[in-house]
Structure 1
Amino acid sequence: MKRILYSILIALLSTACVKYEALPFTGKVLPRRSGYINNVTNDWIYYNLRTGEIFNAYQVNADIIEGNQKNRLDWDLAFCGNKLRTNSGTSGNGHGGAADMGFQGYDRWTSVSQLPHDLQWVVDTDNVSITMSQREWISYTVAHNITGIPWFDPNKGPQQTKTNANPLLNKALVFSGPPPSYTPSFHTYIIRTADGLRYFKLQIVSWYDESIEIGDTGGRISFYCDELK
C-alpha cells in the first residue's frame, strides 16, 4: 500500500513540474519602430499586401516620401506609431478602405463570399490626430514665434497635430496616458486593396513584438493579416 501511495505522489509531483510553453506567435511584426520617436511626425511604413513588398522598412522615407504616397497604387496598408492608413480618401488615390467585423472572430472570416453586401467601408480622412515629433515642434515654434509651450506636457503628453489616416483603424490600437499605454481593440478589420479587387483581414495584437519575451521597448506592432480567398 505504501508503495502505491508513493508512486501516486511521484506522478503528481511530476505533473506539477511540467512547463507549458506559450504557443509561438505566427503573425507579422513591423520591421522597426515608426513615428515621432524617429524625429519625423509622418514616418510611415507601407505594405503592398498583394505582393508582400514593404516600403520604408528600415529607414524613414527611404522609398516613399510623405505626400508621394497619394498618387501611388503599389501600397495598401501603412503604419505610423499606432496610426494606420489605407490607400483611399485623403491618403491615396486608390480604391482601398477598411471595415469593422467586430470583436475577435479573426478565424471566422476566410472567404470574400462571407462579406455582407452592405458592408460599411471607411476611407481615410485628413483629421486624425498624431503625435508630433519634438524636432518638428521646435521648428514650428521658432517659425511662428511661439514661446513657453513645451513639446511635452506632464498632464497632456506630447504635442499633437493632424494627419491623413483611417479613422476606423484609429480605434485598433488606442493610446492612453500618461503614463503611456497602448491597448488593442482585438477587432477584426477587413482591408480593401488599392485596386479594389482583393480583401485582407487584419487584427492588431500588441504594441510590442510578440516574438520577444523580454526587453522589447514597444513600437514594433504585432498583428495578423491574411487574404480572404
Structure 2
Amino acid sequence: MRHFLFTIIAAAALLTSCVDYDAQPFTGKELPRTTGYSTGVTNDWLYINLRTGQMFNRNKVNEDIAEGEQKNRLDWDIAFCGYRLRTNSGTSGNGLGAAADLGKGQYEKWTSVSQLPSDLQWAVDDHTVSITMSRKDWNRYLIANHLNFEENPWFDPNNGPATTLTDANPILAKAMTFTGPPPVYTPSFHTYVVRTADGKRYFKLQLISWYKANIKIGDTGGQISYYCDELK
C-alpha cells in the first residue's frame, strides 16, 4: 500500500497547478512551513528535537535559532532547509548525531536498533552540500564582489538558480534531488537512520514528497512530507 501511495504522490508532484488526486490518507509528518531560499534567506533552517518533538524556527526564519547558533546547542537532532537536511554533528553541530542509508524502501522492516548492521557507514555533516541561494543573498554577493547583475543573473536558464555550499549531511543530501528547469524534486525513497545529538537514540527517516501530502498540489512546495519513527 505504501508503494501505491508513493507512486500517486510522485505523479501528482509533476502536475503544474491545483489538481485533485485520489490516494490513501497520508499518515506521516509534514513540515509546518516552507523553508529555504524562497523565504528570502539562504540558510533558513527548521530544527527538530526528535527526542521531545519540539521544533525551533517553526513559524519564521531565525525565530529561535539563528544560523551559527545551532552549533553549540544539543537540543536539536535534525533540521530542514528546503530539501536539504542537517544532523547535530560535524560542521553543523557539536552533538554526536549522524546519518546512514538503510537502502531503498522497506521502511516498515526497520523497527529496532538491534537490526542496524554493524558495518553501517555513518556520515556526519560537512561543508560539501549545495543549497539554493535566495535572491537577496545573491544580490548581496554580486554587490560585495562588484559583479554585473545582467551578466550574473540569479536564475540561469541552463543551470537553474544560484547555489552555494552549506553545512549539511552528505548522506541525507541524497534523500531528495532537484533537476531542472523546469524544477522537479524527486525523493529517493530510501530509508535513513538518524542518530540523535546525545548519541543514544535512533530514528528512521524517509522523505516522501516536496509537497504536503494530503492537499491539492499547488503552492505548497517546500513543505516536505516524510515518515520519521524511533527505532526501539
Q: How far apart, in 1, do the equivalents of 2:167 and 2:204 lie?
A: 22
Q: How far apart, in 2, do the equivalents of 1:216 and 1:138 lie?
A: 25
- Which residue in the other structure is 1:5 paired with? none
1:78-97 superposed matches below 5 A = 78-97=79-98
Is contact 2:89–2:95 with CA below 8 Å preserved after alignment?
A: yes
What SS is found at the alignment partner of 2:229?
A: strand
Find out whether 1:74 has 2:75 as its counterpart.
Answer: yes
Quick one: higher RCO (CA 8 Å, sep 6+), 1 or 2? 2
- Which residue in the other structure is 1:63 paired with? 64
Deviations 1:57-96 (A, max 9, x none): 1110100000000010000000001100000110000000
- Which residue in the other structure is 2:16 paired with? none
1:151 maps to a residue whose letter is W
2:106 maps to a residue whose letter is G
- Which residue in the other structure is 1:157 paired with? 160
Is contact 2:211–2:217 with CA below 8 Å preserved after alignment?
A: no
1:199 to 188, 197, 202: 202
Shift, 1:216, TM fit: 4.2
What SS is found at the alignment partner of 2:50?
A: coil
Report % sequence identity: 67
Q: How far apart, in 1, do the equivalents of 2:88 and 2:126 lie?
A: 11
Aligned CA-pair RMSD:
0.9
Q: How far apart, in 1, do the equivalents of 2:119 and 2:159 lie?
A: 40
1:126 maps to a residue whose letter is H
- Which residue in the other structure is 1:225 paired with? 228
Deviations 1:78-116 (A, max 9, x none): 000110000011000000000100000100000111111
My pick for the range that moved more, 214-223 or 148-157, is: 214-223
Q: How far apart, in 2, do the equivalents of 1:89 and 1:122 lie?
A: 9
* Higher Cα Rg, which structure: 1
Q: How far apart, in 2, do the equivalents of 1:43 and 1:216 lie?
A: 18
Is contact 2:36–2:43 with CA below 8 Å preserved after alignment?
A: yes
Poorly superposed stretches of 4+, deviation over 2 Å: 213-217
Number of equivalences: 209
- Which residue in the other structure is 2:44 paired with? 43
Is contact 1:74–1:194 with CA below 8 Å preserved after alignment?
A: yes
What SS is found at the alignment partner of 1:40?
A: coil
Shift, 1:202, TM fit: 0.1
- Which residue in the other structure is 2:215 paired with? 212
- Which residue in the other structure is 1:8 paired with? none
What SS is found at the alignment partner of 2:136?
A: helix
CA distance 1:206–1:214, shift in 2 (3 Å): closer
Shift, 1:214, TM fit: 4.2
Is contact 1:209–1:216 with CA below 8 Å preserved after alignment?
A: no
TM-score by length of 2: 0.88
Q: How far apart, in 2, do the equivalents of 1:161 and 1:214 lie?
A: 28
2:132 maps to a residue whose letter is T
Is contact 1:184–1:205 with CA below 8 Å preserved after alignment?
A: yes
Q: How far apart, in 2, do the equivalents of 1:55 and 1:86 lie?
A: 14
Is contact 1:83–1:170 with CA below 8 Å preserved after alignment?
A: yes
What SS is found at the alignment partner of 2:64?
A: coil
- Which residue in the other structure is 2:130 paired with? 129
